[in-house]
Structure 1
Amino acid sequence: MQLISLAQAGHEINSDILKNSADMENIDPPTMEGLDAFLAKNNGSTTNNESEMNGSVPPQLSTTTQWFASKSSKKKTPPVSVTSIIDGLKRLYNEKLKPLEVTYRFNDFVSPPLTNSDFEAKPMVMLLGQYSTGKTTFIKHLLRCNYPGAHIGPEPTTDRFVVVMSGPDERSIPGNTIAVHADMPFSGLATFGGAFLSKFECSQMPHPLLDQITFVDTPGVLSGEKQRTQRTYDFTGVISWFAAKCDLILLLFDPHKLDISDEFKRVIASLRGNDDKIRVVLNKADQVDTQQLMRVYGALMWSLGKVLNTPEVVRVYIGSFNDKPIEEAAAGPLGQDLFEKEQDDLLMDLMDIPRKACDRRINEFVKRARAAKINAYIISHLKKEMPSMMGKAKAQQRLIDNLQDEFGKVQREFHLPAGDFPDVQHYRETLSGYNIDKFEKLKPKMIQAVDDMLGYEIPELLKNFRNPYE
Structure 2
Amino acid sequence: MAEPSAEFSGAVKKLLNIYHTAIKPMEQAFKYNELRQHEVSDGEITSKPMVLLLGPWSVGKSSMINYLLGLHGTPQELYTGAEPTTSEYTVIMHGEKFRTIEGIVMAADSSRSFSPLEKFGQGFLERLVGIEMPHKLLERVTFVDTPGIIENRKQQERGYPYNEVCQWFIDRADLIFLVFDPTKLDVGGELEMLFRQMKGRESQIRLILNKADSVSTQDLMRVYGALFWSMAPLINVTESPRVYVSSFWPQEYATDTSRKLFMKEETSLLEDLNQVIENQIENKIAFTRQHAIRVRIHALLVDRYLQTYHSKLGWFGDPHEVFQDIVNDPDKYYIFKSILAKTNVSKFDLPDKEAYKDFFGVNPVSSFKQLSQLCSWTGGCLLEKMERVISHELPALLNTVSSSTVKAGPTPLNSLPDTCEGPECEEKPKNRWRRQ
TM-score by length of 2: 0.83
Kindly indicate whether residue 328 of structure 2 is the aligned counterpart of residue 401 of structure 1: yes
Aligned with residue 267 of structure 1, among 191, 194, 202: 194
> Residues 101-120 of structure 1, C-alpha deviation per residue, up to 9 Å, x if partnerless?
11111111124443322222
Q: Which residue of 2 aligns with 1:469?
A: 408
Q: Which residue of 2 aligns with 1:85?
A: 11
Partner Cα separation in structure 2 for residue 286 and residue 336 of structure 1: 8
Aligned with residue 412 of structure 1, among 341, 347, 350: 341
Which entry has the higher C-alpha Rg, 1 or 2? 1
SS where residue 385 of structure 2 aligns? helix
Aligned with residue 210 of structure 1, among 131, 134, 138: 138
Aligned with residue 453 of structure 1, among 384, 389, 400: 389
1:427 and 1:206, CA in 2 relative to 1: closer, same or farther beyond 3 A? farther
Q: Which residue of 2 aligns with 1:352?
A: 275
Q: Which residue of 2 aligns with 1:200?
A: 128
After superposition, where does 1:99-114 map in structure 2 within 5 Å?
99-114=25-40
1:139 counterpart letter in structure 2: I
- 5+ residue gaps in structure 1? 1-79
Q: Which residue of 2 aligns with 1:180?
A: 108
1:92 counterpart letter in structure 2: I
> Residues 90-130 of structure 1, C-alpha deviation per residue, up to 9 Å, x if partnerless?
11111111111111111111244433222221111000001
2:289 counterpart letter in structure 1: V
Deviation at 1:407, TM superposition (A): 1.8
Deviation at 1:439, TM superposition (A): 2.2
Q: Name the % identity.
A: 31
1:403 and 1:157, CA in 2 relative to 1: closer, same or farther beyond 3 A? farther
Partner Cα separation in structure 1 for residue 389 and residue 343 of structure 2: 19
Kindly indicate whether residue 20 of structure 2 is the aligned counterpart of residue 94 of structure 1: yes
1:424 counterpart letter in structure 2: K
2:231 counterpart letter in structure 1: L
Kindly indicate whether residue 367 of structure 2 is the aligned counterpart of residue 438 of structure 1: yes
1:97 counterpart letter in structure 2: I
Kindly indicate whether residue 61 of structure 2 is the aligned counterpart of residue 135 of structure 1: yes
1:440 and 1:258, CA in 2 relative to 1: closer, same or farther beyond 3 A? same
Partner Cα separation in structure 1 for residue 238 and residue 394 of structure 2: 33
SS where residue 190 of structure 1 aligns? helix
1:140 and 1:447, CA in 2 relative to 1: closer, same or farther beyond 3 A? same
1:83 and 1:136, CA in 2 relative to 1: closer, same or farther beyond 3 A? closer
1:81 and 1:126, CA in 2 relative to 1: closer, same or farther beyond 3 A? closer
Deviation at 1:468, TM superposition (A): 3.5
| Structure number with higher helix proportion | 1
Q: Which residue of 1 aligns with 2:236?
A: 309
Q: Which residue of 2 aligns with 1:254?
A: 181
1:395 and 1:148, CA in 2 relative to 1: closer, same or farther beyond 3 A? farther
Deviation at 1:393, TM superposition (A): 2.4
Deviation at 1:271, TM superposition (A): 1.4
> Residues 363-415 of structure 1, C-alpha deviation per residue, up to 9 Å, x if partnerless?
10111111111010011111222254632322333233324653223223667
- 5+ residue gaps in structure 2? 1-5, 376-380, 410-436
Partner Cα separation in structure 2 for residue 149 and residue 182 of structure 1: 28
Shifted more, 346-355 versus 412-421: the winner is 412-421
Shifted more, 413-422 versus 444-453: the winner is 413-422
Q: Which residue of 2 aligns with 1:339?
A: 262
Partner Cα separation in structure 2 for residue 202 and residue 463 of structure 1: 35
Aligned with residue 144 of structure 1, among 59, 70, 80: 70
Partner Cα separation in structure 2 for residue 415 and residue 369 of structure 1: 11
Shifted more, 230-239 versus 206-215: the winner is 230-239
> Residues 280-335 of structure 1, C-alpha deviation per residue, up to 9 Å, x if partnerless?
10111111111111111111101111112334322211111112123xx25x25x1
SS where residue 372 of structure 1 aligns? helix
Q: Which residue of 2 aligns with 1:278?
A: 205
2:172 counterpart letter in structure 1: K
Q: Which residue of 2 aligns with 1:292?
A: 219
SS where residue 307 of structure 1 aligns? coil
Partner Cα separation in structure 2 for residue 206 and residue 362 of structure 1: 28
1:148–1:171 CA contact under 8 A, matched in 2: no
1:255–1:285 CA contact under 8 A, matched in 2: yes
Partner Cα separation in structure 2 for residue 219 and residue 415 of structure 1: 38
> Residues 320-356 of structure 1, C-alpha deviation per residue, up to 9 Å, x if partnerless?
1112123xx25x25x1122112111111101222101
Partner Cα separation in structure 2 for residue 227 and residue 319 of structure 1: 32
